[in-house]
Amino acid sequence: MTARGGAPEGLTVGSVTIPADALTWRFSRSSGPGGQHVNTSDTRVSLSLDVAACTSLGHTRRQRALERLGGRLVDGVLTVTVQTTRSQARNRVEARERMAVLLAEATAPPARERRATRPSRRARQRRVDAKRQRSAIKRSRSRPPMD
């Protein structure tokens, strides 16, 4: 894809922009519907990024991505393949979006550790009161006992 000025665009992941020359595009024939058109056009798009060698991510983000995407990487390279539409242009846009989402999730900082807390005495009392009230409502719906 090219920007308005005609120069290729990079990929923006959060606050980091990966330069266009770090991305590798491959095009091939797509399977599925499309009639004779499918036999002649390269609409399937594969977008690859060498995560292990990508210096624009920075050391910390690169290490996180390598850890979290370990099962998806082949020799440190992340590849996203899209063939959902018959249009190469739309598949290119979707491949860029999928790559950006994958990298954003993989490079996000870890979630803060949960600090264990206990319900307050008042909260426990409200819970027990609500259970008693619900029990009373259900008891009142039952048949009266036979004498």
What's the gap between Cα 90 and its chain centre? 19
In the chain, the number of structural domains is 1
Residue 89: CATH number of its domain: 3.30.160.20
Beta bridge partners of 44: 28
Is the Cβ–Cβ distance between 43 and 87 less than 8 Å? yes
With bands split at pLDDT 50, 70 and 90, how would you rate the model's confidence at 69?
confident
Q: Does 100 reside within a domain? A: yes
Domain that holds residue 82: 11-107
> Is 138 contained in some domain?
no
- What's the pLDDT score for residue 13? 79
What does the mean pLDDT of the chain come to?
Answer: 85
Query: Residue 39: its pLDDT value, please?
Result: 65
Question: pTM value?
Answer: 0.67
3-state DSSP call for residue 27? strand
Distance CA 15, CA 2 (A): 20
DSSP state of 87: -
Residue 27 belongs to some domain of the structure: yes
